[in-house]
């Protein structure tokens, strides 16, 4: 009896055979490049904001609504987009939603009013929402378990490097052309790359299948055999599992979106920086985030290898990231020196981003059978923070007549809540893999434990 077509679509990336190293390498590189492009398109609006505000007459509250439009769509469509990618397959999902965000980016350069700009940014958010959950699913399929944190960290660090370089890239394009043509160029590059990536992922999978001697036999058996049982998604159970991680992601996302949206405006409004100087200072601050993202992935893998305990390895790094970020935000309440402020902002962003990679890994570990959906549910918290924080920060700045200390205090309060939610995080109740200290215990416990399947 042949497997149903709907099941084959759902499982197109879930072949029973192990992926080759070549496929894993190609997939990883393509996803990292995608993350770079995505974050340039995500951050370009904040870099262009000072120029756009002058031309279109926007204040901080208006900017808050523009920034928030992206995040509202991001939060609303992350779960259905992740679920849809589970249904149609990761490669098709990336092509579909990546093309949508590219077209919306092009449209951003053609708007002439606040409403039109909000709408364009909304559709950028719709397109980007399922991208990381879908990419996390692909990493979970092709990267070994004890290296997934580093892989997630490297992919997200690539995105944060794009954050750091975006002020320089976008400023250069604005100076050379205009802010409108900048969005058209960036959207066009994205559209071309998503097609190239889709073809590259297809080719990598084809060569991976051809390189395995038993692939043809396995596929023939799969066609003749009934589809393996897949546990239906229980939304009530999913929500019960993911809500602490979702809340922790909200706290992390508050700070992330604050940096991504407001740092160029901070230097422009507080220190009166010109566009070129603003780009350099913003790039240096955002570079701290890219280093923190990569370091967080390395740390959580290191702790996993040392302890053999997934949950502990994730929790420890997340909590350290929250608390250490507060340490470097506090001096910003006491100084107006631009050098000290820049250093503290960069260090605070570095520490905050330590939590990013382990949170993404947790998203896939909450429910391994529906990893794209669980990851999307988890990171809806980050998207919700992006919907709320830009508007709140913009209003706080307007009401307080530009007192940035008020915005920093709000971020500190949110960061204090992060560790409380992190302590409530739970992942799948499967036994830990025999890695690190647990490997010796698994071997001495007997064959049933020693040969337990690794995840």
Q: What is the mean pLDDT of residues 292-308?
A: 87
pTM confidence score: 0.68
Q: What is the pLDDT of residues 154-172, one digit of tens each?
A: 887 788 788 788 888 999 9
Q: What is the pLDDT of residues 309-327, one digit of tens each?
A: 888 888 999 999 999 999 9
The angle at the Cα of 397, spanning 74 to 318, to the nearest 5 degrees, equals 50
In a domain, 440, yes or no: no
In a domain, 228, yes or no: no
In a domain, 341, yes or no: yes
In a domain, 1, yes or no: no
In a domain, 189, yes or no: yes
Q: What is the pLDDT of residues 263-278, one digit of tens each?
A: 888 998 888 888 888 8
Q: What is the mean pLDDT of residues 27-35?
A: 90
**Is the pLDDT score of 433 beyond 90?**
no
In a domain, 264, yes or no: yes
Q: Give the length of the chain.
A: 455
In a domain, 216, yes or no: no
Task: Write out 294-346 in H/E/C secondary structure.
Answer: HHHHHHHHHHHHHHCCHHHHHHHHHHHHHHHHHHHHHHHHCCCCHHHHHHHHH
In a domain, 250, yes or no: yes
The angle at the Cα of 44, spanning 40 to 46, to the nearest 5 degrees, equals 130
Per the structure, how many domains does the chain have?
1
Q: What is the pLDDT of residues 414-423, one digit of tens each?
A: 999 999 999 9
Alpha carbon distance 128, 145 (integer Å): 26
Query: 36 is in which domain, residue-wise?
Result: 20-211+236-428
CATH number of 35's domain: 1.20.1250.20
Residue among 365, 360, 414 nearest 386 (CA): 414
């Amino acid at each position: 009896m042949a497997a149903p077509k709907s099941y084959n679509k759902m499982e197109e990336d879930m072949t029973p055979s192990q992926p080759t190293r070549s496929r894993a390498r190609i997939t990883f590189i393509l996803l990292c490049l995608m993350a770079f492009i995505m974050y340039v398109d995500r951050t370009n609006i904040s870099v262009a904001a000072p120029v756009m505000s002058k031309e279109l007459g926007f204040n901080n509250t208006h900017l808050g609504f523009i920034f928030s439009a992206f995040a509202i769509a991001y939060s609303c469509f992350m779960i259905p987009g992740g679920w849809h990618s589970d249904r149609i397959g990761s490669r098709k999902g990336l092509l579909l939603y990546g093309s949508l965000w590219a077209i919306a980016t092009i449209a951003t350069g053609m708007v002439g009013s606040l409403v039109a700009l909000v709408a364009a940014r909304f559709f950028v958010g719709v397109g980007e929402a399922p991208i990381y959950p879908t990419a996390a699913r692909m990493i979970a399929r092709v990267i070994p378990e004890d290296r997934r944190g580093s892989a997630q960290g490297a992919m997200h660090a690539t995105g944060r490097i794009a954050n750091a370089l975006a002020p320089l890239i976008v400023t250069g394009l604005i100076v050379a052309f205009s802010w409108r043509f900048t969005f058209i160029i960036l959207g066009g590059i994205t559209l071309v790359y998503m097609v190239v990536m889709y073809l590259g992922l297809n080719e990598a999978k084809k060569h991976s299948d051809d390189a395995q001697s038993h692939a043809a036999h396995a596929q023939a058996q799969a066609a003749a055999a009934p589809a393996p049982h897949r546990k239906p998604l229980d939304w009530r159970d999913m929500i019960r599992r993911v809500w602490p991680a979702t809340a922790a992601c909200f706290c992390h996302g508050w700070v992330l979106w604050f940096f991504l949206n407001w740092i160029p405006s901070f230097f422009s409004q507080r220190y009166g920086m010109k566009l070129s100087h603003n780009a350099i200072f913003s790039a240096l601050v955002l570079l701290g985030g890219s280093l923190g993202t990569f370091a967080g992935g390395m740390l959580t893998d290191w702790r996993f290898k040392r302890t053999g305990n997934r949950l502990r390895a994730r929790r420890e790094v997340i909590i350290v990231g929250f608390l250490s970020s507060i340490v470097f935000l506090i001096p910003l309440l006491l100084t107006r020196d631009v050098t000290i402020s820049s250093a503290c902002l960069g260090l605070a962003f570095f520490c905050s981003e330590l939590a990013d990679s382990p949170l993404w890994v947790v998203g896939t570990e909450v429910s391994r059978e529906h990893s794209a959906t669980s990851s999307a549910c988890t990171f809806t918290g980050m998207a919700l923070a992006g919907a709320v924080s830009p508007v709140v920060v913009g209003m706080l700045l307007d009401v307080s007549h530009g007192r940035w200390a008020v915005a920093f205090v709000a971020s500190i309060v949110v960061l204090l809540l992060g560790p409380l939610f992190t302590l409530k995080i739970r992942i799948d109740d499967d036994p830990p893999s025999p890695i690190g200290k647990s490997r010796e215990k698994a071997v001495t416990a007997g064959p049933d434990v020693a040969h337990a399947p690794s995840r």
